[in-house]
Amino acid sequence: MASATPVPPGSHITICEVGPRDGFQNEKTFIPTAKKIEIVNALFASGLRHMQVTSFVSPRAVPQLADAEEVLAGIDRPEGAFVTALVPNLRGAERAAGAGVDAVHTVVSASETHNLKNVNRPVDQSLSEFEAVFATLDKAGIAIEGGIATAFGCPFEGIVPPRQVARIAKRYQELGASSVSLGDTTGMATPLTVQAAIRAIRDAAPGLEIHLHFHNTRGVGLACVMTGLSEGVTHYDASVGGLGGCPFAAGATGNICTEDLVYLLQESGYESGVDLDKIIAAATLTQEVIGRPLPGQVLKAGPRLKRHDPDLTVTAAG
C-alpha cells in the first residue's frame, strides 16, 4: 500500500463547482439559459475558478442541459477561470472542443450496471471509445479529467472493489488523462472506502492526480473530505447549495455543498480563494431560481461568528 502524506494546513485546496452540471441535470423543470448564466457568473464572482459548467450529452437523455453551447457562449470567464464540461462519447468531445472548454470530464462507471444505465454501453466499450475521444481532445489542446462514477459503491451492484476503480484509473493514465475524479454517485463513500480507493490507485497508477467528488446522501460527505486531506488530495468537487444527483442512479441526492466545504476549509486553516459571504449570496440566488429550500447548512445558519440581535430573541423568563 502506498503511504499517505496529509495536505499541510495553509495549502491551497481547489474546489471545482459542479452545481451547474451535477445540480442542474437533476432538476425536473428546465432552468432558463439566462438564469443558468446568471448563477455561473455569481459563482465565479465568489472567487471560485474551477467550474463544471454543463454536459455535452444526448439532449434526449438529459434535456435540462440541452443548452450547453448557449450557456458556454454566455458566461463571463474571469481571469484564471478553468471551465470544464462532462462528456460521455466522441460526439460530446467534438461539441466540447467547438464550445471552447479548458478541460473535459469524461465519464465511465466502475460498475457495469450503472455504466449501462448511464451511457448505454459496457465499461470496456466506453474505455475503448475513449481512445478517439482523447485523440480529439489532445488535438484541440484540452486537458482531460477521467471521471469514474460509482467509485465507492453502486446502487445496483453494491460493493465496488478498489481494484476495479484502480484498473480504470490505470487505463486513464495510459490514455493520457491529467487526473482522475472518483465519483461517489449515490453517496456510498465512507472514510475507510475513500482511503482504500485512493491507496489502490496510488499503487496501480503512481503519479496520477486524484480528484474527489462526493455526494452527501448519507451525511458523511465532509468527513470523506477530511479523509481525502489526510491522504494528500487537494482537489474536491462541490455543488452550490448542495444541489446534485444522477438521474440514472436510484437514490441519488445532492453533492457536498460548496458553502459548507468553503466554511470547513476556512475553519481548518486551508485556503480556497472563495469568499464565504459571496458564495452564500450565490447559493441564495440559486435557491431563488430553483424555487425550493436547498440542503446546504451554512446557507441556512450563516458563518459561525454571525451575530444575532438579542432584542429579536425571546428570553426564557421563568
Return the residues of window 67-86 that contact ligand COA according to CB under 6 A. 86
Q: Select the residue whose beta carbon is closest to Zn ion and give its number.
A: 22
Half-sphere CA count of 87, side-chain side, radius 13 A: 33
Tell me whether residue 147 or residue 296 sits nearer to ligand COA (CB atom): 147
Q: How far is the CB of 174 from ligand COA (least distance, A)?
A: 22
246 in catalytic set = yes
- Closer by beta carbon to Zn ion, 191 or else 247: 247
For residue 230, the Cα-to-chain-centroid distance in whole angstroms is: 19
Phi, psi of 211 (to 5 degrees): -110, 155
**Which grid coordinates belong to 24?**
442542474
Q: Identify the burial level of 209 via C-beta atoms within 10 angstroms of its C-beta, where 0-12 means exposed, 13-18 middle and 19 or more buried.
A: middle
How long is the chain?
318
| DSSP assignment letter at 64 | G
Q: Pick from 13, 62, 225, 256: which binds ligand COA (CB under 6 A)?
A: 62
Q: Does 248 bind ligand COA (CB under 6 A)?
A: yes
Q: Which value, in Å, is the radius of gyration of the alpha carbons in the chain?
A: 19
Residue 196 interacting with ligand COA (CB under 6 A): no
Rounded to the nearest angstrom, the gap between the alpha carbon of residue 169 and the centroid of all alpha carbons in its chain is 17
Q: Does 58 bind ligand COA (CB under 6 A)?
A: yes
Options 51-59, 160-168, 226-234, 271-279: segment touching ligand COA (CB under 6 A): 51-59
Using CB under 6 A as the criterion, what x/- string covers residues 147-186 for binding ligand COA?
--x-------------------------------------
* Cβ closest to ligand COA, residue 46 vs residue 89: 89
Read off the C-alpha cell for 309: 440581535
Given 16, 224, 246, 257, the catalytic residue: 246
Residue 139 has phi, psi (to 5 degrees) of: -60, -35
User: Is 173:205 a contact under the CB 8 Å cutoff?
Assistant: yes
List residues near ligand COA by CB under 6 A: 25, 55-59, 61-62, 86, 88-89, 91-92, 95, 107, 118-120, 149, 246, 248
Q: Which residue numbers are catalytic?
A: 246
